[in-house]
Structure 1
Amino acid sequence: MRLLISAALFLAVSSCNSKEEKKQTVSDRIRVSLDTVLVDSGDEFLYLQDQLYYSGLSNDKSYLVNFNRQDFTTEKIDLDELRLLEKVQFEKEGPNGVLNLANYVSHFSLLSDGNILFWDYFMYKVFDQNGHLVRDLALDKIAPEFLGTDEYYAGAFFQVENNSDRLIAFIFHWESGSSLVFDFDLKDQTFKKLELTELEKLNDFNVNLLYEGTPAGSYGPSAKTISVNGQIVISNTAFNEVLIFDLDKDSLYTKSWNTHLLADKKSYVPPKEVERTSGQLKEIIKRNEEDLNYKSFFWDEKNERFFRFSERMHFGEELNGYGDYVSTGSDIFLSVFNKDFNLIAEAEISELDKLPVTYFTKDGDIWMFENIDDEMAFVIVTIEDA
């Protein structure tokens, strides 16, 4: 069923004079249509338990590769014809094995050349789509003081288009909470490091966890990265901003906003530390999720614009099996930016009451994964000028 709605958009852009910031409100209107499509899997059952978390899109977005962590197969989905193309069996162990040292698959990424990267601590291996090992990147040997220890963790990798020997990594340091960008030259076996000091302010929203007085991890905002047009785009869940690392100019700059709907940052500041056994953590998580969380940017190549969702969740009193509050729905906001990160429009999308784990753009529309009676489906959100 196709549903047409109109949403009034309110855009607040901050402008400064020498003494104070002023907010200007500009209204606009767009038309949003929602459509749901099902993927034809034939007689096969598709792996939906991870909600396509272990999946990747081809460069032209004509197909999606989904990894099944239970039976170690990949599922190649044709997104134009909406059907399963093939399943490929991968090996767990041996020369073509994808398991890490802990005997599980931690991270999966489809590279721009169509090969697949599996990685975790001390493991960075590239396979072709038939399951054969193409290259052991051995990044822990190139940068042993960082990736040769368990103090640093790689959250994302991006292969620079038309240069398979240049690999960009987004790295996180557990103890300090600092983030870095590594620029690897696989041919020369060298790397350059960029410290993202701009993200240190995320620590203001971080909670140090204790277990009987001993440090036991932390809970707080996260940062996500995408690669678009020679730029690494870094956003975070606490601030209404984006960091842009220009690969050609080797430069970093920031764009930030303070808008009528989404302000400039989260409002809830949690305590600095909490004892895990006190039961306070679930309350902190609830209050944090009830506050705004800014999601990752994603790119609409057809219309040369960026999208970003933001979410404010709602909860009742029900707890799940882990003792956490169960969400009863969300307020979903959509921000639209041009290619230079200028804010075009921003609105609450009342027709959406939750965000899926996986969503992306294709042919100018937003595709959102949906599990419908154990069948792979997508809700297609089309945004047009009114």
Structure 2
Amino acid sequence: MKKFLFPTLIAALAFSCGGENESVEANSGNILENFSYSIDTVVVDPGDEIINLSRGVRGSSLDETKTYFYLFDEATTQINKINLDELVLEEQIPFEKEGPNGIGANFIATSRYLPGEEFLFSSFQSTGIFNKQGQKVLDLTLKPEEFVVEGLGEDAQFNITNSIRLSPDRKIAYSLPNDFMEGTTQLAKIDLEAKSGKVLPIPALDIVGEYRILLQSDQSMSIYFEEISFQEIGGKFYISGATTNSIYRFEPGQDSLQLFEFDFSLVPNQKEIPIQRKVSSMEEFEAEMEKARTQIGFEKLLYDEQTKRFYRFGRIYEPKGDDPEAPSKAEVFLFAFDNNLNLIGETALPELDKTPSSPFFKDGKLWSYVNVEDELGFAVMDLKF
């Protein structure tokens, strides 16, 4: 087993802040006022196998105990089961591309661990839940002609399983179907037995679509879009967008969503400078993308089970300048919330020039992906308050 320990980095930061929330009372004070951290880097031992990192860890998820890190390799259609306590590749779990138990031969949009060591795979062609033996145990492919979802746009029906989440009994599905051409995203609630559903409004996230850029010319078509995250944390669902600090929360089976909005003191609460959404040249496309990226952007929610706190990173990318191939650098910020999403702290992190990659909390420490000479590694951040 390989374990690399990098020099420890300590940062002490101080500032003042305030918070406001429409749904709950905001707390005064700032838990990040005397915030510091140290970082070590550890590397996973793959044994005699290879962990393919050509796409980073995009298709990864964790089990309930944060012991196992499941990384899907689309090239081989197998899942690498990695023991984070021992830092070893423990097993490689194969799946078929085609046939009755096939997970899909084309781009897999979602690969996610489910309790009981089952896995959800979703693509534009098919969606289903598979057991560890590679057998499909539940087909979740939602064909537009077989389902009636009231209020759903016609184009959005063709990616109705986007970011799909299920109720505990697997009878209700929630998803975020979107219209790539128009830049709209909707929240759909679908009764899988009745084959019917409806759209639940999420207007606070409409601004995400205002920063989607479409390049369409005779030669090519390109799309830039800001991410919307649909997460399940502690039995509740959370929806957030990179363009705004607003967050929706709701429980499986419910139709009412609770909206949380915040008044940050260090950064704008959302992107403010409008962009041109439809362009006809690559030069225009890159210029508008630069305009979007150099405004505030927010990452998905992180939850620390030990402290019962939520965290969220923010970043503002620096302009590329004359060298478009130069590595992206950003101002990085960290925001803290209590268990009910009251804002309780915010700080700048001047020692970082990018947000952690695919971060998650484990045993009270923040882990994030790093590539260490083509080996799977993690930067482990120990937070001090």
TM-score band by shorter chain is 0.7 to 0.9
1:140 matched to 2:143: yes
Matches within 5 A, 1:1-386: 1-14=6-19, 28-100=33-105, 103-140=106-143, 143=147, 151-153=157-159, 154-161=161-168, 163-187=169-193, 189-211=195-217, 218-247=223-252, 249-277=254-282, 279-314=283-318, 315-320=320-325, 326-385=326-385
Q: Aligned partners of 2:290 and 2:181: how far apart in 1?
A: 25
d(CA) in 2 for partners of 1:151, 1:256: 29
- Residue 201 of structure 1, CA deviation: 3.2
Closer/same/farther in 2, CA of residues 305 and 274 from structure 1, 3 Å limit:
same
2:97 partner letter: K
Aligned-partner Cα distance in 1 for 2:276–2:357: 28
Cα offset for 1:272? Answer: 4.1
Q: Would you say the 8 A contact 2:229–2:239 is kept in 1?
A: yes
Deviation at 1:192, TM superposition (A): 4.5
Deviation of 1:226 (Å): 1.0
TM-score by length of 2: 0.85
DSSP-derived class of the 2:327 partner: strand
Amino acid at match of 1:160: S
Aligned residues: 368
Secondary structure class of the residue paired with 2:17: strand
Query: Is the contact between residue 8 and residue 28 of structure 1 (CA under 8 Å) also seen in structure 2?
Result: yes
Distance change (3 Å), C-alpha of 1:166 and 1:204: closer
Give the distance between the partners of 1:136 and 1:204, measured in 2 at CA. Answer: 34
Instruction: Please say if residues 111 and 158 of structure 1, whose CA atoms lie closer than 8 Å, have aligned partners that are also in contact.
Output: no
Report if the CA contact (8 A) 1:39-1:375 is conserved. Answer: yes
Which one has a larger percent strand, Structure 1 or Structure 2?
Answer: 1
More deviation, 281-290/30-39: 281-290
Instruction: Provide Cα deviations, 1:20-64, integer angstroms capped at 9, x if missing partner.
Output: xxxx98572122111111111112111111111011111221101
- How far the C-alpha of 1:235 sits from its partner, in A, is 1.2
Amino acid corresponding to residue 110 of structure 2 in structure 1: H
Structure 2: where are the runs of 5+ without partners?
1-5, 22-27
Partner SS for 2:143: helix
CA contact (8 A) 2:29 2:345 kept: no
Measured at CA, do residues 201 and 148 of structure 1 come closer, stay the same or move farther in structure 2, by a change above 3 Å?
Answer: closer
SS at match of 1:358: strand
SS in 1 for 2:207: helix
Verify the 8 A CA contact 2:204 2:246 in the aligned structure 1: no
Residue ranges of structure 1 left out of the alignment (5+ in a row): 17-23, 321-325
> Kindly tell me: are residues 331 and 201 of structure 1, through their superposed partners in 2, closer, same or farther at Cα, counting changes over 3 Å?
closer
Question: Residue 172 of structure 2 contacts residue 253 of structure 2 at CA under 8 Å; is this kept in 1?
Answer: no
The Cα RMSD (Å) is 2.8
Kindly provide the amino acid, as one letter, of the partner of residue 342 in structure 2.
Answer: N
Range 264-273 or range 233-242, more displaced: 264-273
8 Å contact from structure 1 (residues 178, 200) kept in 2: yes
Per the normalisation by structure 1, the TM-score is 0.85
> Structure 1: how far apart are the matches of 2:85 and 2:138?
30
Work out whether residues 62 and 69 of structure 2, in 8 Å CA contact, stay in contact via their aligned partners in 1: yes
Q: Name which of structure 1's ranges 311-320 and 84-93 shifts more when overlaid on structure 2.
A: 311-320
- Output the CA distance in 2 between the equivalents of 1:69 and 1:255: 36
